[in-house]
Structure 1
Amino acid sequence: MINGLMYKVLPVLAGAIFLFSGFDAASQSMDLSSKLGPNKITLSLTKNGELRYRVTRRDKIIIADSPLGLTCDDQNFTSGLSLVSVSPTEVRREIYNLTVGNVKTINHALERKSITVKNRSGALMIIDLVNGQEGVAFRYRFPDQDKKLRVINAEITGFQIEKKARGWLQPYNKAGKVTPGYEDFYVNIHPGDSISNPRNPSVGWCMPALFQVNEKKSWVLLAESGTDGSFPGCHLQPDSKGGLYKIAFAEKDEKYNLPLGNDNRPTFSLPWTMPWRVIIMGDQAGDILLSSLITDLAPASKLDDTSWIEPGKATWSWWSHPEDQSPDMYNTFTDLAASVGFGYTLFDAGWEKANAEGGIIAKATAKGIKPMVWAYSAAYFDAEKRRSKFKELAAMGVKGVKIDFWCSDRQEVMACFQSLFEDAANEHLLVNLHGTTVPRGWHRTWPNFMTAEAVLGTEHYFYEARYPALAAEQNTVLPFTRNVAGPTDYTPFALTIRKFPRLNTAIHELATAMIYTSGIINFADSKEIFDSLPLPVRQLLKDMPATWDKTESIVAEPGEQIILSRQKDRLSYIVGINGTNKAVPVKLNLVKYAKGFSKFRVISEGENPLMSFKTETYPITSTWQYVFAPKGGFIIQFTNE
């Protein structure tokens, strides 16, 4: 099946197979040096039996010697280790479709090898290694088959980043009223810098974490993949002295209103396979943005039939009318969805009362608009109650759920997500997570998982005084960090001026809908704003896809500018935003992207850059020159009209 795992083991290149007759473990190579690309991961054991690894790209150090190991309730795997065996190198090809992403079909070869070590008591631990064109990864496994429960007290995994590197990192907020929710600013730091001026008190750094290393010649993103109910979501410890970033587990008090215990340590039965520690690498930041290594490593799709899953766009009343939960308001946004050609509308908090009074679900479905509804996490944590509620929603005609206020990376929550995706799929319901952790490849495993918040998005024009000044910069960092982890519910297109007045231009805000990937794009703002748009912009909104067949990075400068080429079926666009407060010249060769088209339409700033648009159409020329407005943007649509 194309959405399932379609890999085949390829012939291993000469010199990569280890023959085990007369096997001498000490003489075997503990590295995975790719024949397919420039990356290499190497393991080593110190004299004290401590496990280390390093990562290079074209023989240049990306991650210097860094610690590996676990301490458990019954065993220690941090010292006194010895090598037992090294597996042959195996090449697998991952071929699958993504329901939402930068590219529709993924076809990547990954080299794999497993290193088995034992501790002083003879207990075994396996380190699986993966190497591909886009980076490397590793994970721990306990192969014992006795079904006993093992508890991990600490993971000493680290990532040694050179001190002169430059990084974009997000503080990991400690447990609070609405935290952790991955809704802080990405800040420009150097390894070893402490957390400064976060939005909320913080206990570490989030992943994904982006660094520019190797004298600014290479980019690296630290991330996770394949986190399920066997492990908590992890972040990085706050102390990065000397540039060593270490893994940290979810905190004990990350409970919010969920019925969680007091033990935050990972606990699971044996055998136990843990999440991938993912190290994405590239020569350009655009290589990071386009990487699918996180989904390459995630479990294959668990859904045989995905024909019912339709990406799309939705109207959403909360941003423009947060206090109005009346049937009339919700019906207005159903009508708006129909008028602008959107397939969905999102009924947020208070929809139950509005539906009881005014039948908003039935009115949406009667117009051919698919309703999604807001829900509270605590009401969906219990499996039996959740399944019953999903059946009830599906019977009403609801097509998806936005479940909010998780505020936890605890193992129990990661387990709940997997069951939730499955239970929702059984009722043909789409899922949007809010107030939540970042995805970890889950949209490959569960294609009905369409999007998640975990982003400092446009709702913060209500809540964060610093947001307007920093939003443009953040918008050019998130595609290389948060959005690499998975689909992002940024809620773009917030034009109405709110408590903290917007500084980005109107076209910058519109362009974010095409910069980020989200299986359901929930558009902010009011009917009045949509009705005021010029016809070409309204047509753009109608045509705009919610997922892409092909994406190319043209300009990729985190914190400064981003320009992408996007294609879906016969639609072709170039979209760009400026993250700085300076005018920036742009020069593009359009012929490369205009095959089959004779003209291009440019949407840019109008007379009032904050609120209006200008559209101009030109014949295709080899060179197009433009000047990015401060905090501005543009959208090019190729056309024959």
Structure 2
Amino acid sequence: MKKMFLNRSLTVLIPAVFLMLTSCVAQNEELSLKSKDNLNKITLSLTQDGKLSYKVTRKDQVIILDSPLGLNFENNDFTSGLSVVKVSSIEEKREKYELKVANNKVADHIFKSKSITFKNSKGALMTIDLIAGQEGVAFRYKFTEQEKQTRVLKNELTGFHIAPNAKGWLQPYNKAGDYTPGYEDFYINVKPGDPINGARGESIGWCMPALFNVNEAKNWVLIAESGTDGAFPGCHLDPDSKDGIYRIAFAKNDEKYTLPLPDKGNAFPESNLPWIMPWRVIMIGDKAGDILLSTMITDLAPASKIEDTSWIIPGKAAWSWWSHPEDFTPEMYKKFTDVSASFGFRYTLFDAGWEKANKEGKIIDHALSKGVQPLVWGYSAEYFDAEKRKKRFKELAEMGVKGVKIDFWCSDRQEVMAALQGVFEDAAKEHLLVNLHGTTVPRGWHRTWPNFVTAEAILGTESYFYEPRFPEKAAEQNTVLPFTRNVAGPADYTPFALTFRKYKRVNTSVHELAMAMIYTSGIIHFADSEEVFNSLPNELKILIKEMPATWDKTEAVVADPGKSIVLSRKKDNLSYIIGINGTNSSLPVSIDLAKYGKGYSKFKIITEGKDPLMDFKVETFPITANRQYNVAPKGGFIIEFIK
């Protein structure tokens, strides 16, 4: 009797378990999305009480562990009690476009996309868009209904769960102050869960982009956001990464030291509906070089809103502030305009104090007479109000100004994100280029507004004035930033600073020169004096004259964040290999010259001279096969192929 009962129980139980497992598998497939190459996958999951999470895999290996999703509004909760209402069909779309400022001129990627709509316990709807491509995955929240009432978002649960054995490079997000947040801190090598330690100032979180080496060091991941506009603040990551979960955090109310922003108590995101929020982007690569070359942030940003971009031309500029920070005389500005003219630079940058100098010495007219286009400095508060901004841009354009460097934004609040979109748009109407300083990190904006050619948001060469730890840490940082900050968008590092400042440089001369070709920036603002430029060997003067400000094709030859980076760069008929060493030891590098020098008969190599801090050595050799180099500690090299 017992045996008969057991058999009957098993007969009922086994199909039930099978149906339950089949149902779970079906739901996972319904709530998941794979890239076209089937390598990258994002999967959403719902618990029995309706809590939402996701995970990311590559080649079926976990990249992002189960991580929380959800939104909590003042009057509506989407953190639990959720159920699936609708799953769209999978669509395929191609993003093919050209960038004015890029590692590779043309971006061309195919994405799979899917939208999943959930309802909460009140019956309110929330949709999550999923994207999967060969460079990673992304998701965003959106609300498609029409609703005039303003919604206030108190908390976003989104997290990124990183395995405990991973390693990361993260930048502290500094607390609001006179010059912060400005994304100008060191990238720190951390393990998931580590507290913030070693920041330049009091910090309240971690910045994005955030770089991790995961999956037993087999994969690299960069966490970022894209498509942020006036409908959302810029976001960072919460400082508490307990158990390796890095959660989204909003800009703070006190980020208003430099701008006429109201005190809200809490600067929560707010909008009426429909409301489309920014993409949460997870770039994935088998090598760090895959991350460096990724265009996923711009792939997800809106297409260019400027129909005719022929007037937007990347270039180089001389800049007086770094070598003469106290001299705002017309004579000094004119001297640096003449440097631009002698080196064939398209631009010259007039920094703070330029207006008085122009009244006294007509420095803009002098630049135009030399065939050099002037760029001018401005303070953010002057460009915050829309009407004042439009009037100011019109005045500058009528004066002959070609671009603006707008400084001291120091805020990620939603109002600032909206103002920046206004800056790009209003500047474009007057055919003005835009360079942001003291600012947030770009979020794909240089695709949407190609006149946005560069931004600071980087710990650059001005730190030789202000940061005692910079000389020792600069070389290491220079091998991290191309995989982090520069992936987000063009970076105004202001390279080539040979003169010793308050904190003495220890990087070699070639390392400093190579930075102008390692970083990608729509305008390269060269730091240093007329005397330094004129003292250079003739071969280096020619190199600086010919050096492009954007590239047609880039390959990562060596990609080891924190240690070394070697890039192959091509523009038209120019071809280079540039490398820097971020360590205190000599670094052996092997380069296949036959591969990268195909079509060229010989190459010129620039290395350190007798005094590594100041001197250069230039040698020319015929093209051979592999060649081994020992890159000097904190040193660099530049190879130029010659027809």
Fold conserved (TM > 0.5)? yes
Q: Percent identity?
A: 68
- From the superposition, tell whether residues 537 and 269 of structure 1 become closer, same or farther in structure 2 (CA, over 3 Å): same
Confirm whether residue 59 of structure 1 aligns to residue 57 of structure 2: no
Work out the CA distance in 1 between the residues paired with 2:548 and 2:329: 30
Q: Match of 1:61, SS?
A: strand
Partner of 1:34: 35
What is the CA deviation profile of residues 42-91 of structure 1, one whole-angstrom value per residue up to 9, with x for unaligned ones? 00100110000000011111100000000002210000000001111101
Which structure 2 residues correspond to residues 82-101 of structure 1 after superposition, within 5 A?
82-101=83-102
Partner of 1:563: 566
Partner of 1:75: 76
Partner of 1:19: none
Q: Match of 1:588, SS?
A: strand
Which structure 2 residues correspond to residues 489-528 of structure 1 after superposition, within 5 A?
489-528=492-531
What is the CA deviation profile of residues 557-613 of structure 1, one whole-angstrom value per residue up to 9, with x for unaligned ones? 000000000000100000000000000111111111112210100011011111111
Does structure 2 retain, via aligned residues, the 8 Å contact 1:25–1:83? no
Which structure 2 residues correspond to residues 144-543 of structure 1 after superposition, within 5 A?
144-261=145-262, 262=264, 263-543=266-546
Does structure 2 retain, via aligned residues, the 8 Å contact 1:548–1:568? yes
Code of the residue aligned with 2:461 in structure 1: it is T
Work out the CA distance in 2 between the residues paired with 1:536 and 1:28: 60
After TM superposition, the structure 1 stretch with the greater mean CA deviation from structure 2, 373-382 or 591-600, is 591-600
Does structure 1 retain, via aligned residues, the 8 Å contact 2:258–2:410? no
CA RMSD, 1 decimal? 1.0
The runs of at least 4 consecutive aligned structure 1 residues that moved more than 4 Å come to 24-28
Work out the CA distance in 2 between the residues paired with 1:568 and 1:140: 39
Work out the CA distance in 1 between the residues paired with 2:273 and 2:518: 42
Code of the residue aligned with 1:511 in structure 2: it is A
Code of the residue aligned with 2:148 in structure 1: it is K
Partner of 2:6: none
Partner of 1:611: 614
Shift of 1:28: 6.3
Does structure 2 retain, via aligned residues, the 8 Å contact 1:408–1:437? yes
Shift of 1:33: 1.7
Work out the CA distance in 1 between the residues paired with 2:528 and 2:441: 25
Partner of 2:550: 547
Q: Match of 1:440, SS?
A: coil
Does structure 2 retain, via aligned residues, the 8 Å contact 1:581–1:630? yes
Q: Match of 2:334, SS?
A: helix
Specify the structure having the higher radius of gyration (Cα).
Answer: 2
What is the CA deviation profile of residues 617-638 of structure 1, one whole-angstrom value per residue up to 9, with x for unaligned ones? 0010012121100000000000
Code of the residue aligned with 2:34 in structure 1: it is S
Work out the CA distance in 1 between the residues paired with 2:444 and 2:93: 18
Work out the CA distance in 2 between the residues paired with 1:576 and 1:148: 55
What is the CA deviation profile of residues 360-385 of structure 1, one whole-angstrom value per residue up to 9, with x for unaligned ones? 00100111000000000011101000
Work out the CA distance in 2 between the residues paired with 1:85 and 1:28: 14
After TM superposition, the structure 1 stretch with the greater mean CA deviation from structure 2, 593-602 or 482-491, is 593-602
For normalisation by structure 1, the TM-score amounts to 0.95
Shift of 1:197: 2.1
Work out the CA distance in 2 between the residues paired with 1:321 and 1:257: 25
Code of the residue aligned with 1:400 in structure 2: it is G
Q: Which runs of 5+ in 1 are unaligned?
A: 1-23
Partner of 1:114: 115
Does structure 1 retain, via aligned residues, the 8 Å contact 2:28–2:43? no
Work out the CA distance in 1 between the residues paired with 2:52 and 2:379: 44
What is the CA deviation profile of residues 483-510 of structure 1, one whole-angstrom value per residue up to 9, with x for unaligned ones? 0000000000000001000000000000
Work out the CA distance in 1 between the residues paired with 2:480 and 2:108: 27
Work out the CA distance in 2 between the residues paired with 1:27 and 1:495: 57
More helix by share: 2
Shift of 1:259: 1.7
Work out the CA distance in 2 between the residues paired with 1:426 and 1:221: 34
Work out the CA distance in 1 between the residues paired with 2:35 and 2:285: 15
- From the superposition, tell whether residues 32 and 336 of structure 1 become closer, same or farther in structure 2 (CA, over 3 Å): same
Work out the CA distance in 2 between the residues paired with 1:429 and 1:151: 35
Work out the CA distance in 1 between the residues paired with 2:521 and 2:325: 22
Partner of 1:4: none
- From the superposition, tell whether residues 293 and 402 of structure 1 become closer, same or farther in structure 2 (CA, over 3 Å): same
